[in-house]
Amino acid sequence: MEYQLTKLAAIDIGSNAVRCQISAVLFFNGRYRLKRVEYVRYPLRLGADVFATGEIPPRKADKFVKFLHALKLLMEVHEVSHCLICATSAMRTARNGAAIAARIKQELDMDVQVIDGQAEALYINRVIEHVLEDNRHYLHIDVGGGSTEFNIYHDRRKVAAQSFEIGSIRRMQQEESGRTVEEMNGLWQRMEAWVRENARRYHVTRAIGTGGNINKLYSMSSAAPNKPVTKRQIQALLERLSGLSMNERVNIALLNPDRADVIVPAGHIYLAAMDWANVNSMIVPDIGLKDGMLQALFEQYFDEISPTVHPNILPVADVENGPLV
């Protein structure tokens, strides 16, 4: 028997990978949930070219359009009702980013929104606030391929936020080139100063980490399931990975090649931020930009999605990748 579900889709065009998540809207016992029904990730690595040359090369642009075409067909098969597509650091940095977005609109009729760090943080804020506890003060760290977003939450309320154009791919390229932190135009020092000052001002005692690299580090660490990971556990894991060659990271640690080369540089950003904030453990919920985008779609089209027999239900959905419980 066919059971019809309303489906929403979010496409996150990051500096390291493009992610598409299709989620179904569930409603049961007066509660909404967004349940993942499809997830596709492809390591397009736009940032590797953009941060080195300033633009997306023609061959990769063609692959980019082809992959989005594949996602469009996938969404058609799933009968997705609404889709949101956002591009972050690599696309906003690329000299030809706007031209490629226009090409995608012309050839595929898909609207790519190139968003800044502040907009990226606002999307994530829609879902991160659900994992916070009352009377707690958090530093949220989100490391992408091209930028790192920081948010300070004081008693469930965001009180400070800042984006820095330092991410896993940029950091990797900096390390490979032999440039020191001091040669990064002072960005690293400004990032440290911002974290130290705001962590002190708002009495931060806990950290929350989001992003593909910290999720992978968490799954590889000795942290107990659903418990915080400690700074010492992250440090031990990074030291072990640093001692492995790329071949060993792929074939022994079983990391995908596009993860194997950036996971250590990304991990160093998380560790540094924890040091600056003087926190010793980190919560790692499996949520990120795509989840915030789905929440935004849910809220935008709530009047259409909501059953007419439940007119007073608020437009808030749980991020839910597992079954209803």
The predicted structure's pLDDT at residue 303: 84
The predicted structure's pLDDT at residue 5: 87
pLDDT tens-digit series, residues 149-202: 999 998 888 999 999 989 999 888 877 766 555 555 688 999 999 999 999 999
The predicted structure's pLDDT at residue 325: 28
At residue 238, does pLDDT exceed 70?
yes
Average of per-residue pLDDT values in the chain: 90
The predicted structure's pLDDT at residue 56: 97
Q: How far is CA 55 from CA 48, 52, 90, in A?
A: 10, 8, 9
At residue 311, does pLDDT exceed 60?
no
The answer to whether the CB of 93 falls within 8 A of the CB of 68 is no
The predicted structure's pLDDT at residue 50: 95
The predicted structure's pLDDT at residue 183: 58
Cβ neighbours of 96 (radius 10 Å): 17
pLDDT tens-digit series, residues 253-309: 999 999 999 999 999 999 999 999 999 999 999 899 999 999 999 999 988 877 554
At residue 3, does pLDDT exceed 90?
no
Written as one letter, the residue type at 269 is I
Half-sphere exposure of 42 (CA within 13 A, CB side): 15
- Confidence at 88, pLDDT banded by 50, 70, 90: very high
The predicted structure's pLDDT at residue 321: 47
Which range (14-23, 41-50, 162-171) has the least confidence? 162-171
Q: How large is the average pLDDT for residues 99-103?
A: 97
Burial 164-198 (b: 16+ CB within 10 A, else e): bbbbbbbbbbbeeeeeeeeebeeebeebeebbeeb
Q: State what percent of residues in the chain have pLDDT above 90.
A: 74
The predicted structure's pLDDT at residue 324: 32
The answer to whether the CB of 87 falls within 8 A of the CB of 101 is yes
Contacts of 173 (CB under 8 A, 6+ apart): 48, 51, 52
Structure pTM?
A: 0.88
Q: How large is the average pLDDT for residues 103-127?
A: 94
Of 290, 293, 296, 268, the residue nearest 141 (C-alpha): 268
Q: DSSP code of 145?
A: S
Burial class (CB in 10 A: 0-12, 13-18, 19+), 119: middle
